[in-house]
Chain A
């Protein structure tokens, strides 16, 4: 599978005692601790305002935690020169963050920018092997023939695939996806979830938040429930029934 570096199974992301709050407000995260494994789909559930999005943004390095530790493959989250973020962690925001006026392949190629030289990329001289890789990934995700189209002409499910393709161009250890299928109809949701399942199966640690309990139980390896900023449940998906999930979410 193009775009995915094979990773030995094991802990890819380790989160220890993560705390976060905005200034003097009540903490949004209170000592969150969990592991996400390579090759597994970890789904984070919880009511809106429970800290799910904040958690992902901290894992991406967009927000600094009050305290706590995050390790990616046993090394701390990198913060590069001039605030460059760690390319091992790919991030798909809720609205996907695609550049709508640009073509699909241009959007996907931005995923490789961290490994394209700055000057080279500013001049628009993308390496041929990057373009080939981007096209191969789009093909694998079933939208190879849309490569030249502007993103704004695509359907919701197709845009989701573009976002996945961009994150795969990063050769990520982890993919963080916020409210991953919340904007899609149920049929497309299932398609995208099984695609995500394939991506995880090849060795990426996939961490996503969602409200869809059924999809979570069907596709996830592990479910984590965040309630009031703390982990209320952390269990293999097949060992937990819906009643237990609802109880953990509602409290």
Chain B
């Protein structure tokens, strides 16, 4: 590639401009305050001292809560999948026609606009405190998110495959079952695993709003200033997330080696 000076200069200008905007925004947010930052640094130091050593006595409690967190993530992902797959098919122009497909896409976007935590609050109100609300909240958001990812994967199929199978004279459900789903099966599986990984992280804060899992303890330890217990909970969360990410990534790679590039798009 030939980088001529004329193509570099606007880049530098843009970088200077963005830096200027950043400084202005920090000032506006009150972060360009020397004494404040100094106090913050001192507090972090004190906080860090209280974090160690981690309180081993809470290990059974937080480990149990982490298991519940992973369970919430798993159940939320699976229920979301069950909702997402038919909706994604309904969001496909060839399967349900342009008008209906557009409406379904709009619905998926709307569901996705509301973050999982907000959905969890809605379900805490609806079904009460506990993991049930967490599962339902995560399922709603996952449905919107996976619905969009699956719909994109369906749109990216080789059009000749769709036309060849349509040419046989099949109905729309048959087209979905015999062309669209088999062509995208690997991508759909890989994306579902990806969402499960994401949901393990998302579900560890669902407890903040009383929707089950380790988040309840994370928030509780912060509020009661038990920073050594908080450290234990963070370590357990970190370990679980790393293990699940690694395992899931390995499985995903095996699918992806035969799936299309769309699987990694998010």
Q: Report the nearest B residue to A101, measured CB to CB.
A: B182
- Provide the bound-state CA to CA distance between A244 and B59, in Å: 88
Q: Report the nearest B residue to A119, measured CB to CB.
A: B173
Contacts A97-B158, A101-B185, A113-B178 given; does A92 touch B164 at CB 8 Å: yes
Q: Report the nearest A residue to B162, measured CB to CB.
A: A97
- Provide the bound-state CA to CA distance between A63 and B174, in Å: 20
The secondary-structure label for the interface of chain A is mixed
Contacts A113-B169, A170-B169 given; does A118 touch B174 at CB 8 Å: yes
Q: Report the nearest A residue to B161, measured CB to CB.
A: A97
Q: Could you say which residues of chain B place their CB within 8 Å of the CB of A90? A: 167-168
Contact (Cβ within 8 A) A110 B160 = no
With beta carbons under 8 angstroms apart, the residue of B164, B171, B178, B258 that contacts A91 is B164
- Provide the bound-state CA to CA distance between A81 and B170, in Å: 10
In the complex, chain B residues 143-171 whose Cβ is within 8 Å of any chain A Cβ: 158, 160-171
B56 to chain A, nearest CB (A): 50
Q: Could you say which residues of chain A place their CB within 8 Å of the CB of B177? A: 121-122
Give the interface residue-count category, chain B. Answer: 20 to 34
B261 in contact (CB, < 8 A): no
- Provide the bound-state CA to CA distance between A140 and B107, in Å: 50
**Which of A57, A85, A95, A113 counts the most chain B CB atoms within 10 A?**
A113
- Provide the bound-state CA to CA distance between A83 and B163, in Å: 12
- Provide the bound-state CA to CA distance between A95 and B179, in Å: 15
Q: Could you say which residues of chain A place their CB within 8 Å of the CB of B173? A: 118, 122
B228 in contact (CB, < 8 A): no
Contact (Cβ within 8 A) B164 A98 = yes
Contact (Cβ within 8 A) A85 B182 = no
B262 in contact (CB, < 8 A): no
Contact (Cβ within 8 A) B169 A96 = no
Q: Could you say which residues of chain B place their CB within 8 Å of the CB of A101? A: 182-183, 185-186, 258
Number of A-B contacts (CB under 8 A): 87
Q: Report the nearest A residue to B177, measured CB to CB.
A: A122
In the complex, chain A residues 154-196 whose Cβ is within 8 Å of any chain B Cβ: 163, 166, 170
Q: Could you say which residues of chain B place their CB within 8 Å of the CB of A96? A: 160, 164
- Provide the bound-state CA to CA distance between A94 and B161, in Å: 11
Contacts A113-B178, A121-B177, A122-B177 given; does A62 touch B167 at CB 8 Å: yes
What 0/1 readout, one digit per residue, does chain B (65-102) give for beta carbons within 8 Å of chain A? 00000000000000000000000000000000000000
Q: Could you say which residues of chain A place their CB within 8 Å of the CB of B160? A: 93-97
Q: Could you say which residues of chain B place their CB within 8 Å of the CB of A97? A: 158, 160-165, 167
With beta carbons under 8 angstroms apart, the residue of B171, B182, B185 that contacts A118 is B171
**Which of B158, B162, B186 counts the most chain A CB atoms within 10 A?**
B158
- Provide the bound-state CA to CA distance between A81 and B117, in Å: 44
B253 in contact (CB, < 8 A): no
Contacts A97-B165, A98-B164 given; does A84 touch B183 at CB 8 Å: no
What 0/1 readout, one digit per residue, does chain B (94-119) give for beta carbons within 8 Å of chain A? 00000000000000000000000000
Contact (Cβ within 8 A) B164 A170 = no
* Given A82-B172, A93-B164, A166-B168, 9 further pairs, Cβ under 8 A: A62-B166, A84-B171, A85-B168, A94-B160, A99-B179, A111-B168, A121-B177, A122-B173, A163-B164
Closest 7 pairs (CB-CB, A-B): A97-B164, A87-B169, A114-B169, A91-B167, A97-B160, A93-B160, A113-B170
Residues of A within 8 A of B (CB): 57, 60, 62, 80-87, 89-99, 101-102, 110-111, 113-114, 118, 121-122, 163, 166, 170
